[in-house]
Amino acid sequence: MKKVKIIFVASALSMLMLSSCALKPLAYQPKAIPAFEGRTQLNEKLVTSDKIQLDGWFGPEDILFDSLGNLYTGVHNADFSDGRILKIDPSGMVEEFYNSGSWVSGLHFDKDQNLIALSHKQGLISISPMKEVKILASTDEKGKPFLIPNGLDISDNRMIYFSNTSEVSSYTTKYGRKIIMEMKPLGGLYSYNPETEEIKTLIEGSYFGNGVVISKDQDYLLMVETTKYRVLKYWLSGKKAGQTEIFIDNLPGFPNGISIREDGSYWLGFSTKRNEALDKIHSNRGMKKLIYSLPEFMQPEAETFGMIMNISEGGEIIESLFDTNGTVLPEAGAVKEFNGYLYIGGDVLPYIGKYKLPTSK
């Protein structure tokens, strides 16, 4: 029996070492987590949200509406191995719009009413009103694949802008943790010209590049960097054209999706709030390797915490909405305003939240 125990312990240690070696993290020193005060004072406004069911699917990462008020969203199954684009009419009736065979994140209609989407299986695709599918781009100009294409927006001149989280692996829960732990610049920000079919890399390498949105005046676009707790600004025109700067930094959570309001300000959704223990180990490469090697059930889980912020065009927080216990919205990574409501999704949320905005006085 003693020999069996020794073999078991040796085997377990070997597995931990192999798993540890699979992680090659960089050291990162995040700034101190800002307090929830002032315009980020905690509240429970989001708990009044209703739920729109998804027929057993998960992960409404982006939310889009057509002129008739039909809602479109990309979803996945429990282990991310399959997915669809769903169409939900105003009464809540759900139908399968497109069998993508994988999770679909970014969604946007172009001027010809083609649904431009980011498929984790096919890359940047176009779905015509007749549901004819065309693959626009599956790799960048250097041949690196779009394995986790993420945020998407289209400018008035038809240029398509989107992010890609990684060219290394498709998304799984384990790989998502690896990206967070390693803190390596992967993927990036890209443009696709539908006239010339040219792909161009605008920002090479991002820290979990996520939501993308174009400014009201079309002079810059924003890209969320989830693991750096910030949003970047990339200038499209003017004296700074082609330059990148920080739009808002040191956020109190993991920012995810971003969308624009009619007044030019932005809704920024968060997957959850920041984890103090994670921030503390980010500077210690060895500790990150050790924690990553632990069995999944022993690793820390993200807290259920719904959070949305309204951010001004100048990068200032205007107001914040919360569900601090995750009672109704355990995450709020995707957020889209439509007809006086916020429609709220997330990476693993099994429904879409619908929050009524207060009417203006």
Tens of pLDDT, residue by residue over 328-338, are: 999 999 999 99
Distance CA(28)–CA(182), nearest Å, equals 9
- Written out in words, the top-level CATH class of the domain with range 2-356 is mainly beta
CB contact at 8 A, 85 and 72: yes
Q: Residues 54-104: pLDDT tens digits?
A: 999 999 999 999 999 999 999 999 999 999 999 999 999 999 999 999 999
Q: Count Cβ neighbours within 10 Å for each residue of 270-294 and write b for 16 or more, e otherwise.
A: bbbbbbeebbebbeebeebbebbbe
* 17: DSSP letter: H
What is the per-residue pLDDT for 360? 53
Residue 4 has pLDDT above 60, yes or no: no
- Percentage of the chain surpassing pLDDT 90? 89
Q: At what angle do helices 285-293 and 2-21 cross, to 10 degrees?
A: 130
Q: Is the pLDDT of residue 361 over 60?
A: no
Domain ranges, ordered by start, for the chain: 2-356
Q: Nearest CA to 217 among 161, 151, 156?
A: 156
Q: Across residues 222-229, what is the average pLDDT? A: 98
- The answer to whether the CB of 19 falls within 8 A of the CB of 25 is no
